Amino acid sequence: MTQHNHDLVVIGAGPGGYVAAIRAAQLGLTVACVEEEKLLGGVCLRVGCIPSKAMLESSEHYAVAKNDLRAHGINVSGVELDLATMLKRKDGVVRTLTKGVEGLFKKNAITRYEGRGRIAAAGKVTVAGKEPVEITAKHILLAPGSIPAPLKGVAFDGDLIGSSTEALSYPTVPTHLVVIGAGYIGLELGSVWQRLGSKVTVLEYLDRILPGMDLELAREAEKVFKKQGIEFRLGAKVTGASAGKNGCVVTVEGAESISCDRVLVAVGRIPNTKDLGLETVKIELDARGAIPIDDHFATAAPGVYAIGDAVRGPMLAHKAEEEGIACVEHIVTGYGHVNYNCIPGVVYTHPEIATVGKTEEQLKEAGTAFRKGVFPFIANGRAKALGQTEGRVKILADAETDRVLGVHIIGPRAGDLIAEATAAMEFGASSEDIARCCHAHPTLAEVVKEAAMAVAGREIHI
């Protein structure tokens, strides 16, 4: 077994791990990164965020060409789907970006070890790969990411019944796709295949879609998706799913079984914390299988840190990146911080849904007095020109101080618009601060300005 020494060894090359490795190298540490997959970038880049957005973009182009161009005076006939080419494009996007991460490692002199990384003892990590390696390091950073959460009674077969990984590469368009779970992943991939021609049925245990998101926006999103053709069965407890020669059968408590071609299980994700050697340094997982950390990402073991999906907080790539940077900056400089009240979330459906800060429900539960400003995209000139007028912007501000507490958007390019709200909240802005900023006309961002004005009842264009 060969031996190597580094200042920092990062286990996991997903968004949190590779970003942390790069920032640590910038700060002067000698850095190693251990990743068992051949391609760098983690689940997000290989089989998550990036390929799903590529498929969402391609499927939206297809739907627009097939259904919407006539309204713009563009008559198109004979639109056909070439799924193989669409999948090839998706794979090309992934390949290019993973190569980009490789280039960043080389640029920053980060040593990459391919294999399964495991803590062997305090300050030691072993890599089980083609050639076993032992790494000694003063600091160990765990960024193992997450895996799809299982569902009792439903066994993945890697083909007809699977997770988002399989749903990104179906070789043919399912006639009928059943999606179990109405969260971000289920709705995004359900939208992809619905646009491409599938009948999509979404089964959700709760009485609402998008758990945890602002309820008013979730209700509006449900109406929009129903108009697009997605079927929802809420309050549905799935008790089993099986695959056979003629497709799949999904059983639901108190209801008829559903026959379909494929099943996508999207009931969330769980920390990927197995076989990390945590017991060797006496780290115990919490009730949900996550690694407990303090405010500076330190675990119970001296010199061992953890970030991303493996710890508390939302399982989002950008949250992991922020934690990775804050963690290594604290190691080197003594300072490093993440504001968890300002972590945006985006659902990349059509229209997009974006959120940052507190929801109405959270503020009411906490007894926080607030004022609400709402403005619809239908009253916006740019949205009219785009032909995308569904949705609204909602701003929640403290009733006494006017400080913005939460912003929730459903509408065109909501994922881009939420950045203004996030920056405003990070700097402690009031709704009046946003309202008094000049926004270019005509732009979708004017809807954010008008919603901010609406907090004080002074919106103009409605």
Bridge partners (DSSP) of residue 141 are 10, 305
CB 210 within 8 A of CB 185: no
CA distance linking residue 211 with residue 195, whole number of Å: 23
Closest residue by Cα to residue 120 from 105, 106, 140: 140
Closest residue by Cα to residue 407 from 394, 390, 425, 391: 394
Judge if the upstream peptide bond of residue 171 is cis by omega within 30 degrees of 0: no
Closest residue by Cα to residue 114 from 13, 251, 2: 13
Closest residue by Cα to residue 190 from 227, 159, 225: 225
| Token pair listed for 101 | 């991460």
Active site residues: 441
Closest residue by Cα to residue 264 from 181, 183, 145: 181
Residue 15 in 3-state DSSP? helix
Closest residue by Cα to residue 455 from 373, 381, 383: 373
Q: Which domains occur in the chain, in start order?
A: 2-148+271-338 (3.50.50.60), 161-267 (3.50.50.60), 342-455 (3.30.390.30)
The sign of the CA dihedral 438, 440, 445, 446 is positive
CA distance linking residue 190 with residue 183, whole number of Å: 10
Question: What is the full per-residue pLDDT of the chain (462 aa) written as tens digits?
Answer: 799 999 999 999 999 999 999 999 999 999 999 999 999 999 999 999 999 999 999 999 999 999 999 999 999 999 999 999 999 999 999 999 999 999 999 999 999 999 999 999 999 999 998 889 999 999 999 999 999 999 999 999 999 999 999 999 999 999 999 999 999 999 999 999 999 999 999 999 999 999 999 999 999 999 999 999 999 999 999 999 999 988 999 999 999 999 999 999 999 999 999 999 999 999 999 999 999 999 999 999 999 999 999 999 999 999 999 999 999 999 999 999 999 999 999 999 999 999 999 999 999 999 999 999 999 999 999 999 999 999 999 999 999 999 999 999 999 999 999 999 999 999 999 999 999 999 999 999 999 999 999 999 999 999
Helix, strand, coil shares of the chain, percent, nearest 5, are 35, 25, 35
CA distance linking residue 158 with residue 162, whole number of Å: 5
The packing angle between helices 15-26 and 83-107, to 10°, is: 30
Neighbours of 431 (CB within 10 A): 26
171: phi > 0 → left, psi -120 to 50 → alpha, else beta; which?
Answer: alpha
Residues 109, 110, 114, CA angle at the centre, nearest 5°?
135
Q: Which residue is it, tokens 């890599």?
A: 127
- 149-158 long-range Cβ contacts below 8 angstroms, 24+ apart: 149/267, 149/268, 149/269, 149/270, 150/265, 151/180, 151/238, 151/265, 151/267, 153/238, 153/239, 153/240, 153/241, 153/251, 154/180, 154/238, 154/240, 154/241, 154/263, 154/265, 155/241, 156/265, 157/243
